[in-house]
């Protein structure tokens, strides 16, 4: 069950195995396994090539003309494709922009403005720091109160307990960055709507890893990053989704020229662009968008359902190896064992995780440490193989013994 033969059998049966060749090879011979694609996905060969073309042919040769010829439409064009391929979002609702933090600020302010008279924002005390920090600062600036759900792995009942007629918005992560637990996006969204409030979903750890169905579930707002499972590159621009039923009314406070109805009209006052484009502020980051475009294109080719199926299989494989080799050494599994509730990584806990993580990285097992005692094993179905995972867990066993 944990043999090398089994690993090879799984790799041989893997429909997505060939996608690994589409990535820039890891030339560092010290790397045993890259299991941190949920922090930074690996670069696609196509991204490197497209960057060269962009510099030489678009920026270098067409110069300023490239804005009208190609670049101005990219935030919406790539957003639409990302929506189609990964988010279950019809065109015109998703746009590539800024960082996740800035997108979250914009959507949270927009959500609050759509619920005047309500003065509470709900989030989870185990949510990612940026989310918690932004909920607190937006609440402070609006004179709102934060209502905390305690402890992560949020269920609809937890949300029900703290939402009511004063709730303006509920800000939650679809997949927990520590445990990988998948929240019930459908059930929670329904419940929040029943209470008259709006949802802001952080999809950082789900986009490109598990299918997200924003339209079908009537989600209001969502944000996410592109540098994890979409492999778009370090600090690549984020994305933001606003359901079309809010387009007539929604606004955001960072009213730069790119979100105005007539960007080059130099109008006297700000008139927001129709639809999702009003979510933009400054000049779109063209170089950063190359990686997003290529990452989304590769995902379209692979198909999110096949990606998800392999993520589940990789997760099971890590659990089998961990149960056999690591649990006897004092590790515990912090991620859900039920496939349907586990996202694209598996977190192992160990009392000495911080030191051990450093040792593992030094020995080429590239995982990441999350306080207080979690070792996250990131599983990127387009690049991670079963033999690679086995070698990594074997090395963990050796180094932790």
Q: Whole-angstrom Cα distance, residue 40 to residue 291?
A: 12
To a second copy, the closest distance from the beta carbon of 45 in angstroms equals 9
Instruction: Give, rounded to a whole angstrom, the gap between the first and last alpha carbons of the chain.
Output: 21
Give me the catalytic one of 22, 147, 228, 308. Answer: 228
Decide whether 63 or 340 has the Cβ nearer to a second copy: 63
Q: Which residue has the tokens 């066993």?
A: 397
Go through the chain and tell me how many residues it has. 401
To a second copy, the closest distance from the beta carbon of 46 in angstroms equals 11
185 DSSP assignment: H
Q: Whole-angstrom Cα distance, residue 307 to residue 15?
A: 10
Catalytic status, residue 106: no
Q: Coil, helix or strand for 238?
A: strand
Helices (H) and strands (E) in the chain, counts: 12, 13
Decide whether 117 or 269 has the Cβ nearer to a second copy: 269
Decide whether 5 or 30 has the Cβ nearer to a second copy: 30
Decide whether 310 or 370 has the Cβ nearer to a second copy: 370
Give me the catalytic one of 202, 220, 373, 394. Answer: 202
Give me the catalytic one of 98, 376, 386, 390. Answer: 376
Catalytic status, residue 228: yes
To a second copy, the closest distance from the beta carbon of 40 in angstroms equals 5
Catalytic status, residue 14: no
Give me the catalytic one of 128, 239, 250, 386. Answer: 128
To a second copy, the closest distance from the beta carbon of 263 in angstroms equals 8
Question: What would the two tokens of residue 235 be?
Answer: 């600090």
Decide whether 64 or 340 has the Cβ nearer to a second copy: 64
Q: What are phi and psi of 381, to 5 degrees?
A: -55, -25
Decide whether 165 or 282 has the Cβ nearer to a second copy: 282
From 338, 312, 309, 326, select the one nearest 390 (Cα to Cα): 326
Q: Whole-angstrom Cα distance, residue 53 to residue 68?
A: 17
Catalytic status, residue 77: no
To a second copy, the closest distance from the beta carbon of 99 in angstroms equals 2
User: 2, 321 in Cβ contact below 8 A?
Assistant: yes
User: 208, 228 in Cβ contact below 8 A?
Assistant: yes
Catalytic status, residue 202: yes
From 83, 305, 339, 296, select the one nearest 210 (Cα to Cα): 305
To a second copy, the closest distance from the beta carbon of 62 in angstroms equals 7
Question: Any idea which residues carry the catalytic annotation?
Answer: 128, 202, 227-228, 376
């Amino acid at each position: 069950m944990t043999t090398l033969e089994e690993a090879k059998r799984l790799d041989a049966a893997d429909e997505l195995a060939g996608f690994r060749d589409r990535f820039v090879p890891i030339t560092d011979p010290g790397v045993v396994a890259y299991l941190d694609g949920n922090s930074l996905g690996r670069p696609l060969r196509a991204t490197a090539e497209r960057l060269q073309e962009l510099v030489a042919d678009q920026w270098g040769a067409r110069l300023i003309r490239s804005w009208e010829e190609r670049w101005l439409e990219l935030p919406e064009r790539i957003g639409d494709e990302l929506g189609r391929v990964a988010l279950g979002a019809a065109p015109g609702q998703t746009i590539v922009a800024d960082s996740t933090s800035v997108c979250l600020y914009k959507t949270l302010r927009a959500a609050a403005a759509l619920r005047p008279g309500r003065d509470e924002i709900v989030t989870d005390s185990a949510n990612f720091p940026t989310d918690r920090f932004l909920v607190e600062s937006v609440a402070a600036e609006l004179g709102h109160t934060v209502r905390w759900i305690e402890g992560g792995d949020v269920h609809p009942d937890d949300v029900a307990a703290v939402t009511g007629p004063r709730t303006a918005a509920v800000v939650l992560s679809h997949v927990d960055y520590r445990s990988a637990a998948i929240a019930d996006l459908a059930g929670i969204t329904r419940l929040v709507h029943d209470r008259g409030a709006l949802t802001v979903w952080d999809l950082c750890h789900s986009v490109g890893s598990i299918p997200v169905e924003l339209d079908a579930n009537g989600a209001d707002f969502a944000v996410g990053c592109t540098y994890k499972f979409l492999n778009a590159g370090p600090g690549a621009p984020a994305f933001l989704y606003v359901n079309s039923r809010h387009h007539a009314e929604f606004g955001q406070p960072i009213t730069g020229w790119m979100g105005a109805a007539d960007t080059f009209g130099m109008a006297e006052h700000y008139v927001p662009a129709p639809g999702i484009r009003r979510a933009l502020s400054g000049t779109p980051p063209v170089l950063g968008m190359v990686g997003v475009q290529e990452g989304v294109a590769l995902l379209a080719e692979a198909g999110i359902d096949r990606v998800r199926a392999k993520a589940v299989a990789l997760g099971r494989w890590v659990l089998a190896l961990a149960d056999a080799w690591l649990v006897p050494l004092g590790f515990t599994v912090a991620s859900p064992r039920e496939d349907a509730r586990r996202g694209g990584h598996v977190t192992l806990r160990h009392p000495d995780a911080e030191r051990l993580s450093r040792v593992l990285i030094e020995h080429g097992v590239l995982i990441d440490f999350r306080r207080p005692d979690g070792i996250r094993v990131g599983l990127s179905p387009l690049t991670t193989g079963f033999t690679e995972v086995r070698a990594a867990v074997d090395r963990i066993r050796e180094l932790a013994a």
